[in-house]
């Protein structure tokens, strides 16, 4: 047991894209070991199946959720629980180290003497590739993949010209609110208008839906009902998806 003099450990736990069975064994154990969960809004409610009875669960999402808590406030909350000697699970969708603010939260807690450990998770971009039935890298199409955010106020606008010239598959997070601007940026950077593109909404989750087309037609995904949270994929690899029926994650057989 922790005494109030000894800060509790904080687990920055990535619980993946939404489906409870896409959580790692390490994450399941960390979630079950926690006294307190501080949960981001986009985390699927189903994840609560991993909470120990009596766990104090608080939703602290910033993005149009039940409540709207600032990043600073979330960090303060986490620190307060840890300094009170509680084991805290800071529960995040995807992977805390990829657009998850995990680095900032870990640095803040360490600066206050709180032990922190990150548990990786499956990022929605990987789940989007799985949903489309394509790989993000393919020797025939590219030599790599770039994950960027289209959400300017958070990370600044990507250098589309450099990214297009780099020739990697592009996976764009938080881009649905500026899909037309992303299309224009890519075309102005010299990307061929018929470059295959896809949008996967709720990737890896129960309500998963996908749209496939081209960069030129990207904004049509909105008319097709695609909305946040969604991931945009752009690149030759996406063409492989066109040949397939769109695949929803099927039931996994239970252990015999």
Nearest to 221 by CA among 238, 204, 237: 238
- Distance CA(126)–CA(147), nearest Å, equals 10
Binder to a copy of itself among 79, 145, 200, 234 (CB under 8 A)?
145
Cβ of residue 196: shortest distance to a copy of itself, in angstroms?
13
Residues in 209-248 at the binding interface with a copy of itself, rule: CB under 8 A: 237, 240, 244, 247
**Terminus-to-terminus CA distance in the chain, angstroms?**
37
Q: Give per-residue burial for 119-140: e unless 16+ CB within 10 Å, then b.
A: bbbbbbbbbbbbbbebebebee
Cβ of residue 160: shortest distance to a copy of itself, in angstroms?
9
Q: Can residue 36 be called a binding residue for a copy of itself (CB under 8 A)?
A: no
CB 202 within 8 A of CB 209: yes
Q: Can residue 135 be called a binding residue for a copy of itself (CB under 8 A)?
A: yes
- Distance CA(133)–CA(245), nearest Å, equals 9
Residues in 10-29 at the binding interface with a copy of itself, rule: CB under 8 A: 16, 19-26, 28-29
Q: Which stretch binds a copy of itself (CB under 8 A): 61-69, 140-148, 206-214, 225-233?
A: 140-148
- Distance CA(123)–CA(108), nearest Å, equals 23
Name residues whose C-beta falls within 8 Å of residue 139's C-beta, 6 or more positions apart in sequence.
none
Cβ of residue 223: shortest distance to a copy of itself, in angstroms?
27
Q: Can residue 183 be called a binding residue for a copy of itself (CB under 8 A)?
A: no
Which residues are catalytic, by number?
40, 62, 174
Q: Which stretch binds a copy of itself (CB under 8 A): 78-86, 96-104, 214-222, 225-233?
A: 96-104
Look-up of token digits 């104090």? 56
Cβ of residue 70: shortest distance to a copy of itself, in angstroms?
14
Binding-site string for a copy of itself from residue 44 to residue 73, where x marks contact by CB under 8 A and - marks none: --------x---------------------
């Amino acid at each position: 047991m922790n005494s109030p003099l000894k800060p509790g450990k904080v687990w920055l736990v990535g619980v993946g894209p939404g489906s409870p069975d896409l959580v790692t064994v390490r994450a399941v154990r960390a979630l079950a070991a926690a006294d307190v969960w501080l949960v981001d809004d986009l985390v699927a409610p189903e994840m609560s199946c991993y909470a120990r009875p009596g766990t104090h669960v608080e939703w602290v999402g910033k993005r149009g959720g039940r409540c709207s808590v600032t990043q600073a406030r979330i960090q303060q909350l986490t620190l307060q629980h840890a300094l009170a000697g509680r084991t805290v699970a800071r529960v995040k969708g995807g992977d805390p180290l990829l657009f998850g603010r995990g680095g900032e939260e870990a640095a803040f807690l360490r600066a206050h003497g709180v032990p922190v450990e990150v548990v990786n998770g499956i990022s929605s971009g990987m789940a989007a590739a799985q949903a489309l039935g394509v790989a993000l890298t393919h020797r025939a199409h590219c030599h790599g993949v770039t994950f960027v955010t289209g959400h300017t106020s958070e990370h600044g606008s990507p250098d589309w010209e450099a990214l297009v010239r780099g020739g990697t598959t592009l996976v764009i997070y938080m881009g649905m609110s500026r899909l037309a601007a992303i299309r224009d940026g890519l075309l102005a950077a010299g990307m061929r208008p018929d470059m295959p593109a896809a949008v996967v909404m709720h990737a890896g989750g129960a309500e998963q839906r996908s749209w496939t087309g081209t960069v030129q037609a990207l904004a049509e995904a909105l008319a097709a009902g695609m909305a946040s949270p969604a991931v945009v994929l752009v690149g030759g690899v996406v063409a492989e998806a066109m040949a397939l029926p769109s695949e929803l994650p099927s039931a996994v057989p239970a252990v015999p």
